[in-house]
Amino acid sequence: MTDFDFVVVGSGIAGLSFALKAARHGRVAIVTKRSAAESNTAWAQGGVCCVLAEDDSFDLHVGDTLDAGAGLCNEEVVRAVVSAAPERMKELMGWGVNFDTDAATGSLSLGREGGHTRRRILHHGDTTGREIAESLLERAREVEEITFFEHHFAIDLITSGKLGYATEDRCLGLYVLDEKSGEVLTFRSDRVILATGGSGRVYQFTTNPLGATGDGVAMAWRAGATIANMEFVQFHPTCLYHSKLKNFLISEALRGEGGVLIGADGREFMHKYDERKSLAPRDIVARAIDREIKRTGSPCVYLDMTSKSREFLQERFPMIWQTCMDAGIDISRDPIPVVPAAHYQCGGVRTDINGATSLRGLYAIGEVGSTGLHGANRLASNSLLEGAVVAHNAASDILRRSPLGQSHVNGYTIPPWRAGNVTDVDELVVIYHNWDELRRLMWDYVSIVRTGKRLLRAATRLRNLQREVQEFYWNFKVTTELLELRNLVQTAALIVDSAQRRHESRGLHYTLDFPEPNPLEIKDTVLRRVL
């Protein structure tokens, strides 16, 4: 059993930012199921929003965020996050993050993406997330008070309620699988922070890395924390359509630099769906592409960047340029084949602006949390900003609520993990089959366009999958594959349950049964588990 002042699960911008601040006050454990360099943050291409231009303002950024969020954003949260951006970006640069600058003026270069009325995206070529992740990780590894537990999988949260104590339910720590030894460790802490990212892998087609399996949301749900707005899954409009490169994102920043969406016939089509054309918010563009594909029977649409010079494209988008070239696509001459793919989880564990959840001692920051910033649809490049701002707030709030030296954990007896009479998994092929079945049914029934019948079919199949996975969990030794499948099935069930409760179309949730927004439905979808 190991005691830490803070236990952070995840190593993206939110988790590392929090750890760097918390380490000034106590000992921090960072638990990651793969290497610490692998995170959703590291895959982010576009950049981070920040109001810096003379023709921009906080009010304009707030307005763009509220417009994209389709009536469900918490305006107070939006204003707080937007106004905190300049200070947080200054902090990132102080930690070694290099954003691109304008060669002529030396000032920070600002990009533009869909839904934005001004240029306000700080970027590092088209690998902004990797630049941030690597810079923060390098900094964190130098801090003596931070201990990394890589290749350690967080299984479940430990709570006083689960242990049977008749006191206020609170988080006491978590059980963690050491993937190399197979041993399950017990981490005790008054302060547990989920920074696990999203759940894109619940879908067959996604831009997310392999680790995006909804671990944080599933753990929090099993522990009794409140979950909100899981029906709002953002599908990025432009994932590269290629037989081998199935998860490669074509950044929205290309459309911000003049890229135009065209059909297989070479004609633009976005003017039929929105006056902002190719720069409309993601939910509108993704649905438009979905409709065009279904209308024409073409397997994809295309993003045309041929109006830009080879030199500009190589300099501004070096990774996308080289990846496409390796795939036989010269983007200065050839339109890029693209399709929508699951990209971002706008709902999650319900929190306040400080990342505090409904369970004492548990915080959720970054994509795993639902602060109210994104509403029914995330504005491009607000995600990394939210991670930095909420991590900063959480580092202060958690010490206010649970000061160091006033331990609650010591008042409880926490039993070690008991494996029971279990055996090694002898039929991994069944787990892989269930994984494939889950992702296919979510893509077919719960993706960009939904219906009540499709959701009902998904719910029925998910109940069967949950029973199978639960049987595996109790009868076999825990493995990474089994734990990820367990979390994916639970997260999928939360998405479907939330979608069935919203009887309207709003933002990212579009159903043919209720194709228009309903003023009576301007409210969060809140799920609470009765333990």
256-267: average pLDDT: 95
What is the widest separation between alpha-carbon atoms in the chain?
A: 69
- pLDDT of res. 356: 98
> At 261, is the secondary structure helix, strand, or coil?
strand
For the chain, give me the number of helices (H) and strands (E)? Answer: 14, 20
- pLDDT of res. 94: 97
Helix (H) or strand (E) holding 185: strand 184-188
Residue 105: CB partners within 8 Å, gap ≥ 6?
A: none
Place of tokens 């397997």: 299
426 pLDDT exceeds 90? no
The confidence band for 411, taking pLDDT boundaries of 50, 70 and 90, is: confident
395 pLDDT exceeds 90? yes
118-132: average pLDDT: 95
- pLDDT of res. 515: 96
85-96: average pLDDT: 98
What are the DSSP calls for 273-336, one per residue?
T-TTGGGS-HHHHHHHHHHHHHHH--S-EEEE-TTS-HHHHHHH-HHHHHHHHHTT--TTTSPE
- pLDDT of res. 477: 85
Place of tokens 């981070």: 48
Residue ranges of the chain assigned to CATH 3.90.700.10: 242-340
Strand order in the sheet with 260-262: 233-240, 336-345, 301-304, 260-262
In the predicted model, what is the mean pLDDT of the chain?
A: 94
166 pLDDT exceeds 80? no
User: Do 195 and 7 meet the contact criterion of CB atoms below 8 Å apart?
Assistant: no
Place of tokens 């209720």: 514
Cα–Cα distance list, 317 to 123, 279, 323 (Å) = 11, 18, 10
Q: What's the token pair of residue 527?
A: 């799920």
Query: Which runs of consecutive H residues, i.e. helices, occur in 163-263?
Result: 215-223, 253-256
CATH class entry, domain 2-231+346-411: alpha beta
Cα–Cα distance list, 194 to 398, 408, 516 (Å) = 13, 19, 35
29-46: average pLDDT: 94
Active-site annotation, residues: 282
Residue ranges of the chain assigned to CATH 1.20.58.100: 428-527
Residue ranges of the chain assigned to CATH 3.50.50.60: 2-231+346-411
- pLDDT of res. 523: 96
- pLDDT of res. 425: 64
Q: What's the token pair of residue 452?
A: 């009540």
In SS3 terms, 322-337 reads as HHHHHCCCCCCCCCEE
Strand order in the sheet with 2-3: 2-3, 184-188, 171-178, 152-159
| Distance (Å, whole) CA 344 – CA 230 | 11
Between 276 and 472, the more confident residue is 276
Q: What's the token pair of residue 474?
A: 């109790």
For 456-507, the pLDDT digits (tens) are 999 999 999 999 999 888 888 888 999 999 999 999 999 999 999 999 999 9
400-429: average pLDDT: 79
Q: Tell me which amino acid residue 177 is.
A: L
286: left (phi over 0), alpha (psi -120 to 50) or beta: alpha
Residue 486: CB partners within 8 Å, gap ≥ 6?
A: 218, 469, 470, 472, 473
| Distance (Å, whole) CA 230 – CA 219 | 15
| Distance (Å, whole) CA 34 – CA 11 | 10
- pLDDT of res. 340: 95
Nearest alpha-carbon partner for 67 in 522, 504, 376 = 376
- The CATH number of 242-340 is which of 3.40.50.300, 3.90.700.10, 3.50.50.60, 3.90.1200.10? 3.90.700.10
* Interstrand relation of 48-49 and 233-240 (parallel, antiparallel or unpaired): unpaired
For 300-348, the pLDDT digits (tens) are 999 999 999 999 999 999 999 999 999 999 999 999 999 999 999 999 9
432-440: average pLDDT: 92
43 pLDDT exceeds 80? yes
CA atoms within 13 A on the CB side of 45: 24
Nearest alpha-carbon partner for 531 in 158, 160, 162, 174 = 162
CATH of domain 428-527: 1.20.58.100
410 pLDDT exceeds 80? no
Q: Tell me which amino acid residue 94 is.
A: G
- pLDDT of res. 80: 98
- pLDDT of res. 420: 67
- pLDDT of res. 472: 85
Q: Tell me which amino acid residue 526 is.
A: V
| Distance (Å, whole) CA 96 – CA 168 | 42
- pLDDT of res. 421: 66
Q: Taking the model in full, what pTM does it have?
A: 0.94
Please state, for a pLDDT cut of 90, what percent of the chain lies above it: 87
